[in-house]
Amino acid sequence: MNIERLKKQITLSEGKQRKAYPDPLDPTNPNKMTIGIGHLIKLPDEEYLLKAELKDYEIDQIFMSDLNQAIDDARKFIDEHSIHERAFEIIVDMAFNLGLPRLSLFKRLKQALINNDYVRASEEMLASLWHRQLPNRSSRLAEEMRNV
């Protein structure tokens, strides 16, 4: 797994914000705010982040914690060594975005990965609510999966 490539890929997808902003998938919900590189603020524990303006090192610390969680979640979803390195990085990106509970719903994607059928895995990514909600990100990742 290429951590630097993965960090760049997720940062491209998520963007980087020093101040809290509404979660793009639920912008009218005041309890779903995001900061940094796609960090969903956990209330009430991280309420202080709602009014914070983060410095780069703070964004990086939060991001690395979230990225490590996404890697752990991706490893729970599929054995990292059973699939192509790039395919695993794509699953980490999905875990970062979706979390393990929602990623676990991608049963046909998982089976396609187990079969090392990256074209089918790509099709499963595109045949999802996630794709309808985030067409740019999901289309880009599905195209990368198809070309693994």
Condensed to tens digits (0 to 9), the pLDDT of residues 104-140 reads 999 999 999 999 999 999 999 999 999 999 999 999 9
- HSE, side-chain direction, 13 A CA sphere, residue 104: 6
Instruction: State mean pLDDT over 56-73.
Output: 98
Range 58-67 average pLDDT: 98
B/e letters for 101-126, b = 16+ CB within 10 Å, e = fewer, are eebeebeebbebbeeeebebbbbbbb
Q: What is the DSSP letter of 134?
A: S
Whole-number pLDDT of residue 23: 85
Decide if domain 3-146 falls under CATH 1.10.599.10: no
